[in-house]
Amino acid sequence: MAATGGPAGPLTGRIARIFSNQQTILLLVLVGMIILFSVLNPVFFTTDVFGNILLDWGPIALIAVAETFVVISGGIDLSVGATLGFAGVIAAYAMQAMTGAGLPDGLAIFLGTLVAAAVGIGVGLINALLINRAHLVPFIATLATLGAAGGMSIVLTGGAPIGNGPPSAISLSVPWLGPLSWPGIVVIIIVVITGLYLHKSRFGRYTFAIGSNPFAALAAGINVKRQITKIYALSGFLSGLAGMFLYLRLGSGAPTSGAGNELDAIAAVVIGGVALSGGIGRMTGTVLGSLILATVTSGLIIIGVEPNWKQVVVAILIAAAVSLQALRSKGRTS
């Protein structure tokens, strides 16, 4: 009996470890959703729908990646959605002026992207200043900038979208390589780079160290305040790029385009297995979490279900993800 049962034990253990891995579970959930939605409506399994999902995924992925760095460091950034909208509005005004001055579309779009990124970095630096110098907790600091950035977007625009920019801007979001568009390809490149930066660089190691134990990180010689400044500046930078992504998709800068997106970013991070207590997480989990959110949104619409049911599905996924984290933590400590 021992001879026949011996190999089965290690094999069973390996299978159990594979299916206890959160990334594996998320991938299975994503594949399961694709199969379910395709069965309920075959239109779902088409290049056009996948292209639309990737367009929905782009801005969510950027702010979710931003949130990943922040949450792993032990913080939270509630301003990513408002920064997205504010950066998109400012970039829209800048491109409107450049187009009116006769600048070529390509140059106007490039400069508009720089403007959006700069606005995002500015908001991120304000967050860092409030945390490091005013000694506000990240929740309060970023809640303040959420309100300020969101309010300024409405004040500057009167609530109306800002268009009359480069006429060819919206055409960049048209898929040309299967479901991929140019902005989508750029987002994938950014996600890959930031993932490597998080897991392979000293910046990433410092981020994990601060989230695990800021006092130990400080004792180890890490300049915690400087690292936090860099993390929130990076978060703002990626949020600004997300605002530009939405501009290219909509052809205008909408002041409310980022409203509520901070919740999607946090949901993607939590579903992806990043611990809200800090110090734990993987970029692959965040990518899969954001893909699941984008898939749920499009899938529910295509099968004719009220889109508000997305909140119910996301709530279930968050509860399942947090429960899995708790079980894994309990297993490590027992």
Which residue intervals of 272-308 are DSSP H helices? 283-302
Query: Any idea which fold 44-333 has?
Result: ABC transporter involved in vitamin B12 uptake, BtuC (1.10.3470)
Contact 227, 212 (CB under 8 A): no
- Non-local (6+) Cβ contacts of 94 within 8 A are 111, 112, 115
For the chain, counts of helices (H) and of strands (E): 14, 0
Q: For the chain (length 334 residues), average pLDDT per consecutive 10?
A: 52 62 86 94 94 94 97 97 97 96 95 98 98 96 97 94 92 91 95 96 96 94 96 98 95 89 93 91 95 92 85 84 73 58
Q: What ranges do the domains of the chain cover?
A: 44-333
Contact 324, 22 (CB under 8 A): yes
First to last CA, the chain: 30
Contact 51, 179 (CB under 8 A): yes
214 token code pair: 């800021």
Residue 316 burial (CB < 10 Å; 0-12/13-18/19+)?
exposed
Q: What is the pLDDT of residue 94?
A: 97
Q: What is the pLDDT of residue 22?
A: 78
Q: What is the pLDDT of residue 210?
A: 97
Q: Each residue of 152-161: b (16+ CB within 10 Å) or e?
A: bbeebbeeeb
Contact 243, 257 (CB under 8 A): yes
- The Cα–Cα gap between 222 and 59 comes to 32
Contact 29, 299 (CB under 8 A): no
- The Cα–Cα gap between 314 and 54 comes to 18
Angle at 276 between CA 275 and CA 280, to 5 degrees: 30
Angle at 239 between CA 234 and CA 242, to 5 degrees: 130
Structure confidence by residue, pLDDT tens digits, 248-282: 999 899 999 888 899 999 999 999 999 988 999 99
Q: What is the pLDDT of residue 2?
A: 46
215 token code pair: 């006092």
Share of the chain above pLDDT 70, in %: 92
